[in-house]
Amino acid sequence: MKSHFCSKGHENPSGSRFCVQCGEQLSNSVFQGISPGMMLGDRYRIVRELGHGGFGRTYIAEDLNRFNEPCVLKEFAPQVQGTYGLQKAAELFEREAGVLYKLQHPQIPKFRELFRFKQGDKGLLFLVQDYVVGQTYYALIDARRRQGLRFNEAEVMQLMLQLLPVLEYIHSLGVIHRDISPDNLILRSTDGLPVLIDFGGVKQVAATVASQFLGLQGAGGTPAIATRLGKVGYAPHEQMQAGVVSPHSDLYALAATVLVLLTLKEPQQLINPQTLTWDWRHEVNLSPTLGSVLDRMLQSRPGDRFQTAAQVLQALNAPLPSPPVAYPPTQPPPVPQTQATVAFAPAPAPWNQQGSPATVETPVPSSSANPSSGWLGKVSLVFVAIAIAGGVGWGAGNWWIHSQTQPDDSQLQPTTNSPVVSPDDAEPEPTTDLSPDEQRRKEVLQQRRTALGIRYEFYADLVNEEFWTQNPEERGRVLGTEPEDAQLRSQWDAIAANLLGQLERYELSPGVRLQLGGYTEADRDRWKAEANQLHIGSRTLYDLADAKFLRAFPDQRGKDFLKLPIGQVWQATVADTLDAVKSGAAFKRIVFDPGASGTQVSGNLKPGEGKAFIASLSEGQVMEANLTTGEKALFSLYSPTGKTKLLEDSGDRTWSGQLPESGFYEFVVVNDGTAPIDYQLDLTVENSAPSEPLPQGSPE
């Protein structure tokens, strides 16, 4: 029997399509392959090839039994000869297919079936899976490189929070992905969630087949192809060298992927060639929390790493995922022949895009009573939640009763700094009364909410309010599971998807995001007191928060949103802003040099960012303030007690005059545009200000 050799000189059995040692496609293969337009089993029409590797090819096809719905066919082509070897290879492959069949998660392409097809004298095996519309993170990295942009910390943090629960789920079932990398993650277009594809179990089967039936052994009896299970730099050394994998192997690969996104450099460029340790801190500055988490995930000794995805989430101060449940596989429901499949809810924009520009008009939002629809509306909404009771139901009956019986927020105690999800935050159990597509749509929404770490009560409150705003005539009406209400349910889900998209793009720390729905007036009083200790008033704190909030939610400009659900997002923004002020990221004290009458501060601001300055000045001094910056900047100048209005959210760049009181004057610059701006603030004061004048009053 004639042998075939690859370009590296590896010998392969006759008829091999790919090299059994390095995976190279063999040009002298006698196999003719599968071409576009070919029909497989009178069901799958091949559209095109998506890619190929050492163990087979992947195709996109149309499923004629599902209205030509696109799907993915992943071919299994073990390089073994003989009836016995092929039979054993098929048995191993079917076993792996059974493992994939167990995986029922909205961020994993659903496994449909194991499909056999005979072409000539060859029997082919295919895994059939859902087709995911979107871009791989490898493609996104390539696009960022061309634009000269990197992924920022908020984006990779969001990716980790959305993907770690998926890893916790598969690990609970004893499944290790083995090959996490940018090209095996897809940013799904329909909802902006990362989807985990191309599990390494199929490759493991091929390696086992090669080692058992071809006798290809490496050092110590390790299968030679085991070194191919994972990508160099992304997989830890014990996986690459010995084929040993554990849950922390996937966590290592995730951390490597995150650093590639942050630096746009491959792992080999971030690993010190002498010490073989990761050396990335000279490439990117990260928060201490995220930096230490990544360092631990990438430890060379397996025992020094996080052992579970839940531990990583806890270290990131994110909510732990609910205990995963292995749902038994079910047969696909019969496809109706009289109507098309219900479409998914409209998708929001990708989570890494920016929002629309906003104009800050009111530094302190006014309060208004929460709208009420009466007892009938409350009871009706309870029935709505019970009727739909989906993964993300319309109404949230339990929440509504709970929220309507809560005391006024002025009577509530301040929240803690270590938020914990309340026990009554359970989401209604899913119902089977809805179509499979609608159930799946709601499961996707539920997964997105969970990944964000948002309480269900707040989520339902937020979506309900927007739904009622768009459909005031529906307030109080029971919305059931009947077909006639399908359009309204779809609209509710579309609103939910859009709001989740806004929150996914909006940069909030995990801790404050978890508290959404629980912020009270007492929290605002506490924040005001903490700001006053730094000699700034709530007006300055709110200016900084408004710049960010109103840019992301411009439709809230001029509205009395404080008592509405969206007001909770504003309060969370204030909490994060206060942290930025306390850390010095958004705050600086101006000090005049001895004997100097002037000083200057400068910097740059991203869209929606702002910075506050204070200067200790005395009554009667003459001051001139000149701001040089972009057209879309807003400038505020507040006196120590606020009794005298100087500048507030103004487009003016200059103020001069005699100071009306002694104390700390506040200068606030915010970027209200859509592009970064540079700024320079020049202050000139007649005679240098005294070192520490006592304020005549307290800031507001």
pLDDT tens digits, 375-400 = 333 333 333 343 333 333 333 333 33
| More confident site: 332 or 628 | 628
Amino acid identity of residue 255, one-letter, is A
| More confident site: 162 or 689 | 162
Weakest mean pLDDT among 3-7, 14-18, 161-165, 267-271: 3-7
The structure's pTM equals 0.45
Among 156, 162, 167, 180, which residue's Cα sits nearest to residue 289? 156
Indicate the pLDDT class of residue 514, thresholds 50, 70 and 90.
Answer: confident
Q: Each residue of 651-699: pLDDT tens digit?
A: 999 999 999 999 999 999 999 988 899 999 999 998 654 444 444 455 6
| More confident site: 22 or 214 | 22
56 pairs with which residues across the strands? 53
Judge whether residue 261 has pLDDT over 90.
Answer: yes
Region 423-434: what's the mean pLDDT? 63
Amino acid identity of residue 637, one-letter, is L
Vertex 97: Cα angle to 95 and 102 (nearest 5): 100
| More confident site: 455 or 414 | 455
| CB distance 44 to 36 below 8 Å | no
The residues, any chain, with a CB within 8 Å of residue 27's CB and separated by 6 or more, are none
Concerning whether 682 is annotated as a catalytic residue, the answer is no
Alpha-carbon gap, residue 520 to 531, rounded angstroms: 17
User: Where does 278-373 have alpha helices with state H?
Assistant: 288-297, 309-315
As a whole-number percent, the residues of the chain with pLDDT over 70 amount to: 69
Region 356-378: what's the mean pLDDT? 34
| CB distance 453 to 513 below 8 Å | yes
Alpha-carbon gap, residue 438 to 443, rounded angstroms: 9
Q: Which residues of 668-688 are buried (b: 16+ CB within 10 A; e: fewer)?
A: bbbbbbeeebebebebebeeb
The reported pLDDT for the residue numbered 216 is: 43
Strands (E), 509-659: 587-590, 598-605, 610-617, 622-628, 633-638, 645-650, 654-658
Alpha-carbon gap, residue 5 to 368, rounded angstroms: 78
The reported pLDDT for the residue numbered 23 is: 64
Region 61-74: what's the mean pLDDT? 90
Alpha-carbon gap, residue 188 to 430, rounded angstroms: 23
Measured CA distances, 174 to 102, 168, 455 (Å):
11, 10, 29
The span from the first CA to the last CA of the chain, in angstroms, equals: 90
Q: Each residue of 181-223: pLDDT tens digit?
A: 998 999 998 888 999 988 865 555 555 555 554 444 444 444 4
Q: Each residue of 446-471: pLDDT tens digit?
A: 888 888 888 888 998 899 889 888 98
The reported pLDDT for the residue numbered 664 is: 94
Alpha-carbon gap, residue 592 to 198, rounded angstroms: 61
The catalytic residue among 179, 250, 461, 485 is 179
Task: Reduce the secondary structure of 92-139 to three states and give it as a string.
Answer: HHHHHHHHHHHCCCCCCCCEEEEEEEEECCEEEEEEEEECCCEEEHHH
Average pLDDT over all residues of the chain: 76
Alpha-carbon gap, residue 457 to 459, rounded angstroms: 5
The reported pLDDT for the residue numbered 435 is: 86
As a whole-number percent, the residues of the chain with pLDDT over 90 amount to: 36
Judge whether residue 401 has pLDDT over 50.
Answer: no
| More confident site: 612 or 87 | 612
